[in-house]
Amino acid sequence: MICPTLPFALMVQALFLAQSPAVPSSQTKAKPNLPPEQVAQTSRYLATLAMPMGGYAPNPGAKASLRATLGAVRALRLLGVQPADLLACREFVLGCLTPDGFADAPDQKPGPAAPALQAVGLMALHDLAAEKSPQVAGKLPAQFAHLESLATDFESIRLAAAAFEAGKRSPANSAPWLQIIEKAIAAAPQDNRLLGGATAAKLRLGVQIKDEEKAAVAAQLLAGQKSAGGWGKSEQTPSDLDTCYRVMRALKMLGKKPDTQKLQAFIASCRNPDGGYGLTKGDSSTASATYQALIVLSWLE
């Protein structure tokens, strides 16, 4: 019997965990090497973000959002845990789909963040095995075409490339995207955050990068690792998990590893007593930062 004083999110986790069917996902292939007590603690933190009607909040006390839901689902999978109520989680994501594309919550509209939300929504459908749901069955080609029309700058193209890769699809015409990516690299050739994201996007879009270019990119990214162990938005700013994620995604795809111990130490410094991770040392925990910490740790194994 579940104790009635147990917080609601943990009750939901306990009630539905055994019932939730496994969902195939690339996120389940690698696992972060954490002590069992830390795995349990982080799982409990993520459980506190679960909302009664499905979806996850970015942090305790906030409302559920599409972006936080994708981050929490992926983080849980890396810990070997299914979402608390998988069906409700799927329904939340499907509820975010409006006639104009994905919004960040069922009661919202896409707004200015439409390109990013469309990419996140399509990735969430894949991660939750909801692509065959009646609400989207037969409509996915149109949703991917909508994403292709929305992605017109570097950041939205970077996310769109990840969504197309997750959906095992290719854009109808990637040439304009690749031109924007190359232009961004040319404008800031020493920006490791941008270079990491751009390299990963190119590889996801099927670009065949020459070996000498791969070697040069990897060498630059590896040389940019800070003494604190990670990478930051610039040489002057401290390391942060979002930038580490972008750089490490590229290094992973290039088959290279940085100074593992230094990066592990930086990630450990971002861990909070609640079991979650903040974007950088001293920041409050969020679902997205927790996912980024866990996936980077898994890539270091």
pLDDT band at 28 (very low <50, low <70, confident <90, very high): very low
Asked if 245 and 263 sit in the same domain, the reply is yes
Number of domains the chain is built from: 2
Asked if 163 and 289 sit in the same domain, the reply is no
pLDDT band at 15 (very low <50, low <70, confident <90, very high): very low
DSSP category for residue 229:
S
Residues 86-101 pLDDT 10s: 999 999 999 999 999 9
Check residue 86 and give its pLDDT: 92
Asked if 155 and 45 sit in the same domain, the reply is yes
Segment 126-137 shows an average pLDDT of 93
pLDDT band at 76 (very low <50, low <70, confident <90, very high): very high
Full-model pTM = 0.90
Asked if 149 and 182 sit in the same domain, the reply is no
* Contact assessment for residue 201 and residue 181, using Cβ atoms and an 8 Å cutoff: yes
Check residue 53 and give its pLDDT: 85
Joined tokens for residue 92: 């939340």
* Contact assessment for residue 43 and residue 56, using Cβ atoms and an 8 Å cutoff: no
Joined tokens for residue 2: 């579940």
Asked if 116 and 101 sit in the same domain, the reply is yes
Asked if 5 and 153 sit in the same domain, the reply is yes
Asked if 168 and 178 sit in the same domain, the reply is no
Tell me the residue type at 174: S
Q: Which domain holds residue 186?
A: 174-301
Residues 243-261 pLDDT 10s: 999 999 999 999 999 999 9
Tell me the CATH number at 290: 1.50.10.20
Q: What is the CA radius of gyration of the chain?
A: 19
Asked if 20 and 145 sit in the same domain, the reply is yes
| Final residue in a domain of this structure, among 172, 204, 231 | 172
